[in-house]
């Protein structure tokens, strides 16, 4: 995929790669220690969440299974640190995909976290210095003060924690699980929260000021939703449930599903590039690069729910038959 030219047309900036992640609920038909009960989705049934990461090129490069009771925000860093080939420069998630601690931790390894923010006008803004010392020229005034003394005092303990995640000695979700099980006023956790409050305040200001950023976040999260719908399209049998009960078996099933989706995306990009090459270069390049034209969607349009191909070779969107050129 990285060697193809067509997927790069989806990128907003050639120097930066925008990724996004979201979870998808699946029912577990048998008793499982990994699953939990969520009346909102499956009533009295058990369910798990498949957390998927996708980039601007429609490439699904990581997925993991988490319990229904686990918060998705702790798994964001696991997805970003999993792949050494695909490196995210800016990452987006929905409102439930971040906390103050996650924002603070993602900022230290040089990941730019740009999440969709619900209720932007009700967000609390933090600043290091006292609110009384805020500049009078500021159009938006801070609401509260973050504890910068706590950050300075514990930064020497915070940096080894980041290094542990960087070298993959421990996962971020495992570290947050231990921190959350400790006393609420655990010093290291409070340090991450204090630093994350400043990071979120900067994100809120950018979110309000930059229209292009809001559009890029919404577009990338729509790609995740498209990938989640595509998961059920290529699934065999019940597309909304797992027959596997063990976490390892569920992850194998999720990886196989992701492999099928990536294969279809790769084949579609190759076939679309082949069709575009038949046209004059000046004609199709200008149309493909035009921001006002509809985007190429390499993972939709010709896959049926029971396998096979539903598009004819003349439509230019499906897999060509043996008789087609």
Q: Which two tokens stand for residue 273?
A: 């590039």
Q: Which two tokens stand for residue 234?
A: 């290529």
Q: Is residue 268 part of a domain?
A: no
Q: Is residue 51 part of a domain?
A: yes
Q: Is residue 32 part of a domain?
A: yes
Q: Which two tokens stand for residue 6?
A: 């067509």
| Calpha distance 155→152 (Å, rounded) | 5
**40 burial class (0-12, 13-18, 19+ CB within 10 angstroms)?**
exposed
Cα separations (Å) of 260 from 44, 51, 299?
31, 17, 11
pLDDT of residue 110: 66
| Calpha distance 197→125 (Å, rounded) | 8
Range of the domain at 64: 7-255
Number of domains in the chain: 1
The answer to whether 155 and 108 are in contact (CB under 8 A) is no
Q: Is residue 305 part of a domain?
A: no
pLDDT of residue 283: 46
The answer to whether 250 and 65 are in contact (CB under 8 A) is yes
pLDDT of residue 280: 61
Q: Is residue 265 part of a domain?
A: no
Q: Is residue 261 part of a domain?
A: no
User: Is the C-alpha dihedral spanning 315, 321, 324, 325 positive or negative?
Assistant: positive
**pLDDT tens per residue, the chain (325 residues)?**
667 777 787 788 888 888 998 888 888 887 887 777 777 777 777 888 888 888 888 888 888 888 777 777 778 888 888 777 788 888 888 877 788 888 888 888 767 888 888 888 888 888 887 766 667 777 777 888 888 888 888 888 888 888 888 888 888 888 888 877 766 567 888 888 899 999 999 999 889 899 999 999 999 999 888 888 888 888 776 677 888 888 888 888 888 888 988 888 888 888 888 887 776 655 445 444 444 344 445 455 445 444 444 444 434 444 444 444 3
Instruction: Output Rg (C-alpha) for the chain, integer angstroms.
Output: 22
pLDDT of residue 165: 85
Q: Is residue 291 part of a domain?
A: no
Q: Is residue 300 part of a domain?
A: no
* Angle made by CA atoms 130, 135, 136, in degrees to the nearest 5: 120
**34 burial class (0-12, 13-18, 19+ CB within 10 angstroms)?**
buried
Q: Which two tokens stand for residue 63?
A: 């997925």
Across 102-134, b (16+ Cβ under 10 Å) vs e yields bbbbbbbeebbbbbbbeeeeebebbbbeeeeee
Of 57, 50, 51, the residue nearest 19 (C-alpha): 57
């Amino acid at each position: 995929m990285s060697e193809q030219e067509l997927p790069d047309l989806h990128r907003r900036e050639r120097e930066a790669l925008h990724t996004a992640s979201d979870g998808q609920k699946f029912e577990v038909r048998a008793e499982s220690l990994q699953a939990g009960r969520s009346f909102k989705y499956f009533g009295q049934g058990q369910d798990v969440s498949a957390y998927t990461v996708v980039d601007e090129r429609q490439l699904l490069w990581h997925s993991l299974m988490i319990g229904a009771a686990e918060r998705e925000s702790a798994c964001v860093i696991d997805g970003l640190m999993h792949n050494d080939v695909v490196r995210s420069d800016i990452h987006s998630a929905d409102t439930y995909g971040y906390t103050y601690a996650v924002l603070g931790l993602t900022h230290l390894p040089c990941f730019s976290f740009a999440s969709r923010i619900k209720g932007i006008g009700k967000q609390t803004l933090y600043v290091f210095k006292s609110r009384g010392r805020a500049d009078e020229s500021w159009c938006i005034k801070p609401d509260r003060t973050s504890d910068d003394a706590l950050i300075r005092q514990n930064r020497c303990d915070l940096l080894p924690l980041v290094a542990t995640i960087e070298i993959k000695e421990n996962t971020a979700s495992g570290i947050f699980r231990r921190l959350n099980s400790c006393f609420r006023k655990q010093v290291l956790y409070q340090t991450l929260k204090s630093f994350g409050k400043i990071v979120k305040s900067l994100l809120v200001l950018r979110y309000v000021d930059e229209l292009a950023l809001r559009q890029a976040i919404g577009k990338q999260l729509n790609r995740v939703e498209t990938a989640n719908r595509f998961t059920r399209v290529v699934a065999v049998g019940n597309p909304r449930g797992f027959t596997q009960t063990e976490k390892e078996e569920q992850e194998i099933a999720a990886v196989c599903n992701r492999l099928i989706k990536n294969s279809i995306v790769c084949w579609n990009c190759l076939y679309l590039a082949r069709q575009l090459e038949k046209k004059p270069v000046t004609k199709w390049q200008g149309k493909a690069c035009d921001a006002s034209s509809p985007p190429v969607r390499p993972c939709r349009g010709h896959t049926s729910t029971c396998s096979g191909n539903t598009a004819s070779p003349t439509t230019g969107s499906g897999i060509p038959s043996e008789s087609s050129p």
